[in-house]
Every structure is written in C-alpha cells, then in structure tokens.
Copies of this chain bind each other. A is one copy, B any other.
Amino acid sequence: MFIDRLIRQIQEKKSNVVVGLDPRLEMIPKFIREKHYGLYGKNLRAAAEALWEFNREIIESVYDIVPAVKPQIAFYEQYGLEGLEAYQRTCNLAKEKGLLVIGDIKRGDIGTTSKAYADAHLGMVQVEDEKLEAFSVDAVTVNPYLGDDCLKEFIGDIQTYQKGMFVLVKTSNPTSGQLQDLESGGMKIYEIVAQMVNRWSKETLGEYGYASVGAVVAATYPEQARTLRMLMPASYFLVPGYGAQGGTAKDILDCFDEKGLGAIINSSRDILYAYRKNPKEYGEEDFGKAARAETSRMREEINDALDENGKKYW
C-alpha cells in the first residue's frame, strides 16, 4: 500500500522532506546547458537532456535523505515529447533509487476520462490482452472541481495497483482563496473538499492508520492546517509552499498529528538552485552538493521544530 511504503521511508530516512523536481532550464548550470546545445542544437531535445542530466545529479545527491520526490509535469510538458521523456526517465531513476515518486499532474476530468488519466499515471493501460505502463508513478495530485466521479476513478487504480493520490484541498498560490475560501452552508469550499477526501480515505486505510488518499494543504495558510488536520484525520498532507513561497517550520507544525506523522513537506526552488544562493561556497558544478546541504538543513529544521513540540516520530 502506497501510504505504508511512504511512512516506512519517512521513518527509515528520518525525513519529512519531499524534493520538488521542477527544473527550470534557465536556472540549470550553464555547463550542462552548453553541453547539450553543443550536442543537439538549441532545441527541445537539448532542453530535455539538460533537465534530465540536472535531475539525475539531484536524485543521486538526495535519495538517501528524503522519502519521495515530486516532479511537476508541467515543467517537462512544456518541452513536448522530449520533455515528457525526461519526466519518464526522472521518475524511473527515482524509483530505482528506492524513492517514492509523486507525479504533480493536477489532472481531473469526467469519469471515463479520469480513468484514462489514472491508467496513464498510476495504473496500466490495456492493449487487447496486454497490460502496459505509460507514466506509472507511485502517487499523483488530483483536482477535485469535477467531484466524486473523477476521484472515484483514481481510487479504483489506487486500490488495484497499490498507489496513492493527493487531492487539491487548499493550494499555496495567492488567489487560491478566490474559490477555495468561499463559504457555503457555514463551511469553506476547501473544508467541503476535505470532507470528500476524508470519505475516500476510509477505503484505502493502511497499517499506520493513514490512507493512500491524501490532500494538498499549503504551508502558506497555517491557521487552516489545524481545521484540516481534524477534518481529514486519516489523510497525509502534501504541503507545498515551504521556503521560496513563504512557509516556515513553525507554519507546518499543525499539519502533523500528535505523534509526528501526517505530513510531507515539499521544497523545490530552494533545494534545486541552492548553488546559486551561495556562489562563494558552491561553484556551478557543485549544484548537487548544494542541493544535498539545503535538503539536509531543511530536514533538520523541520525535525527540530517537531522535536521541540513533542512531535518527533522516531
């Protein structure tokens, strides 16, 4: 079951940190970019190969201190088929390294179409009597705007293939409140979505009392985490917005339960481009080392904050 594998990874690595693999071409060390422009020209192939080389080093640098990585598919999709091939290779390498891979795809559609997305990213697709994998990762993010029809199809593949999902409940962007914070019948929309998530979570409970149906809950709105923790007692939170987007270790404490389980905290930019923040200490070629140092620092920062609040799990 996805959630049990995740919790075991967290425990083993003493880490609640997820590295967001959102590579931006212009932020990748120049020597990598130049190498691939030299080989392929300035085209989609070169961009994709640069992304892949960058990711490879990042994964090699952090795989033993984080339970999971979260590639954001949009950053690959923008480079077309070549970019999506880099996404696929990235996911495969991370899996080989024992990491769980959370595909940040934010898909969601009507029933039969959601089934196609679920098969594409979690399950397998049928070609006559053959069952084949397309982009198979361990868990995905899902958009709830179409309601249970949509979520149900992902649940099907979660149960069949022992996978997971994180439903967008409260996102980290400035205008997330525009729809998500509206009140209806005394509840916020994001709380109503939380109730939907909670209902589905009951069908995928694992041995630690958590479910393979989790929720995206932003670190940028800490006051909401407390309510959401209560509304979704069995759902793991995937928490974006730490670091670059403004969330701090204090802000994310309420995403965890009393024992110190319940949340994984994503950071992308601060980790991937750590080498640029400290050019005296790190040259471009040290980007992996810098990423590891920042991941490590963030891991300790979160663990210390949990410890101080009596929430250290291990």
Contact = CB atoms under 8 A, between A and B. Distances in A.
Interface of A: 22, 25-26, 33, 37, 42-44, 46-47, 72, 74-75, 77-81, 83-85, 88, 106-111, 113-114, 116-117, 119-121, 125-130, 132-135, 143-150, 168, 171-180, 182-185, 189, 192-193, 196, 240
A301 to B, nearest CB: 23
B111 A43 contact: no
Contacts of A74: 107, 109, 113-114, 116-117, 120
A72 B182 CA distance: 30
B43 A79 contact: no
Among A75, A121, A125, which residue has the most Cβ atoms of chain B within 10 A? A125
A149 B127 contact: no
Contact of A147 (B46, B148, B173): B173
Contacts of A135: 77, 80
Given A72-B109, A77-B116, 16 more contacts: A47-B125, A47-B127, A75-B113, A78-B117, A80-B120, A80-B135, A111-B173, A144-B145, A144-B179, A145-B168, A146-B168, A147-B178, A147-B179, A179-B192, A182-B184, A182-B185
A75 B109 CA distance: 12
In the complex, the count of this chain's copies comes to 2
Contacts of A184: 182-184, 189
Contacts of A127: 25, 42-44, 46-47
A198 B80 CA distance: 31
A177 B147 contact: yes
Contact of A42 (B72, B108, B113, B129): B129
Contacts of A42: 127-130
24 contacts: A37-B128, A42-B130, A43-B127, A43-B132, A44-B127, A72-B113, A74-B114, A74-B116, A77-B120, A80-B132, A81-B85, A81-B88, A106-B143, A108-B143, A110-B171, A111-B174, A145-B180, A146-B176, A147-B173, A147-B176, A149-B176, A150-B173, A182-B189, A183-B184
